[in-house]
Structure 1
Amino acid sequence: MDILTLLPFIVLIGAMFLMTRSAKKKQQAAANMRDQMQPGTGVRTIGGLYATVKEVTDDTVLLEAAPGVHLVFAKNAIGAVLTDEEYNRIVHGDDDLASDAPAVPDDASSLTDDAAGTDADEAAASADDAKLDLGKKADKADEPKADAPKDGKADGEADAK
């Protein structure tokens, strides 16, 4: 038998071996991650729910999604076990960078700088002017053209009676 005839089969078997091996490694890593769960750990489910582990059994996990809201999930439904820092950053919004940034309210109603208020007023006025210009252009497009007949018929069309 020729080696070139067997080469595609050898390559196919090698590829299948590598794929199953990587899949096994991923399954093993997921199982190890789920075994690390203990009460008090923050987790993310495969559906995207962030919760705190309250109790772990052989097949299930009791999660607390909010104070007093307890949910039972299968262990396989846990997508990630999070570090305390990551869980607090995502769920509670605790972020070291946020403490350095100045707090500005969403509506910016507490701005005391007159220049900032003036700039905002000027921006609003220019936006209103732009809307007016667009409105005038739209009105002109709706007007009939001067050379078009008023009856809506094109030149050369006669009444068929």
Structure 2
Amino acid sequence: MNPADLFIPLLLAVFVIMMFRKQKKTTQSVAQQRAQMLPGTEVMTQFGLFGRIVSVDQEENKAVLELSPGNTATVHLQALTKVVTVPAEEKDEEAAAPVEGATVVPDDASSLTLGKNDDAARDSAQDETPEETLKRLNRDDKKEN
């Protein structure tokens, strides 16, 4: 028998095995994600709606999501595609710790001074007269050109 005659069936067998492996991994990841979908978990639906799970009915395949305080929606469990946050009692202390080297984004406009000392910048702006401000701006404009 020619070895080339065995190549195509062998290739087909490998393809089928790989297909079953991928399906098994997908099933495991869905099962793991469903196990995380408990009341209090923040999730995202297939259509991009974010909400917090209020209750889950496994028999009816339904979940009640709280979209905003007092507003709820009932969705099919298959519509829940992504777990955004896990309830606090399930989080590890390590997961809650800040990541080393992470950038912290302030909630206010304090980052707009671009590294200047906040107190010095504030004081110089308050002590400046309108004429001095105009001169400073003209000077800065000439430097840029």
Q: Same fold (TM over 0.5)?
A: yes
* Pairwise CA RMSD: 3.8
State the TM-score, normalizing by the size of structure 1. 0.54
- The 1:83–1:35 alpha-carbon spacing in structure 2 relative to 1, beyond 3 Å, is closer
Residue type matched to 2:79 in 1? A
| 1:102 positional shift | 7.9
State the TM-score, normalizing by the size of structure 2. 0.59
Asked whether the equivalents of residues 36 and 86 of structure 2 are also in contact (C-alpha less than 8 Å), the reply is no
| 2:91 equivalent in structure 1 | none
| 2:76 equivalent in structure 1 | 74
SS in 2 for 1:25: helix
| 2:49 equivalent in structure 1 | 49
CA distance, structure 2, for counterparts of residue 70 and residue 84 of structure 1: 18
| 2:7 equivalent in structure 1 | 7
Matched, 1:104 2:109: yes
SS in 1 for 2:66: strand
| Shift >3 Å, 4+ stretches | 96-99, 105-108, 115-118
| 1:84 positional shift | 4.2
When the two structures are aligned, how many residues end up with a matched partner?
115
CA distance, structure 1, for counterparts of residue 109 and residue 123 of structure 2: 13
| 1:122 positional shift | 2.9
Residue by residue over 1:1-46, the C-alpha shift from the partner in whole angstroms, topping out at 9 and shown as x without a partner, is 3222121221122122112211221123212311332211111222
| 1:115 positional shift | 5.8
- In structure 1, runs of 5+ residues without a counterpart are 86-95, 131-161
- Whose RCO is larger (CA < 8 A, sep 6+)? 2
Matched, 1:83 2:86: yes
CA distance, structure 2, for counterparts of residue 106 and residue 36 of structure 1: 37
